[in-house]
Amino acid sequence: MSLSDHPTAARTVLITGAAGGLGRAFALGFAGRGYRVAVADIDTDGAAETARQVEDSGASAWHGRVDVTDPASTEDLADRVAEFGGGSIDVLVNNAAVYGTVTRSPLEKIDPAEWDLVMSVNLKGPWLMTRAVSPHLPAGGRVVNLSSATVYSGSEKWAHYVASKGGVIALTRVMAKELGRREITVNTIAPGFTLTEASRGLMDDAESYGVDRGALRRTSRPEDIVGAALYLAGPDSGFVTGQTLVVDGGRQFI
């Protein structure tokens, strides 16, 4: 089978925030499509476990540590993953984010230090990672950013998180224009509330939260988001860029 018959063969994907949750689901999903999978997280043990599961599935895996708020760390990661990928990185999934530990507070009571942390990881992080990986992206490369459907609902007592994820959508549009000159696409996925280890820690009713508001009356799980990432990373989305794909089971229609 030629590469044209199997367009994902021998391609390399880098996924940040891959110690668990959505990041791990993305890693396993890409592995199932034949990608070489590089995973990174500030939690090195979690990243190593994700890489082990990818290898157990029969795919090639690499794992490492990254602090997405640190330019030197992101640049070092990009260089090492490009070496793993045979000189290039075909797909970057900017998944790393502060989420489960974010304090829900009225905007007047948000700790400025926490505001800065959320913005640094959730918004500065995708910028720094894309900046570091950009030299290694070939024509036809893909960047997939992770936002949140909460941007459209304006979730109360979460101004810092919502603002950071809204910024990701705006950043995506600029990146799409700048990297489009090199035939690289940049898009965003905005998941609704998804059942992960982190979201379970946010509330007691995580298993049923928001189900009554969706067109599809069930809880979203990480695997429900994976298809969107595979589409945006794959050949069928080659003329799609600067867009935000909401994946929330029809809780909101944008």
Closest of 28, 165, 16, 27 to residue 96, by C-alpha: 16
- In SS3 terms, the chain reads as CCCCCCCCCCCEEEEECCCCHHHHHHHHHHHHCCCEEEEEECCHHHHHHHHHHHHHCCCCEEEEECCCCCHHHHHHHHHHHHHHCCCCCCEEEECCCCCCCCCCCCHHHCCHHHHHHHHHHHHHHHHHHHHHHHHHCCCCCEEEEECCCHHHHCCCCCHHHHHHHHHHHHHHHHHHHHHHCCCCEEEEEEECCECCHHHHCCCCCCCCCCHHHCCCCCCECCHHHHHHHHHHHCHHHCCCCCCEEEECCCCCCC
Closest of 193, 217, 216 to residue 205, by C-alpha: 193
Residues in the chain: 254
Active site residues per annotation: 161
Q: What is the chain's Cα-based Rg?
A: 17
CA-CA distance, 254 to 166, in Å (whole number)? Answer: 14
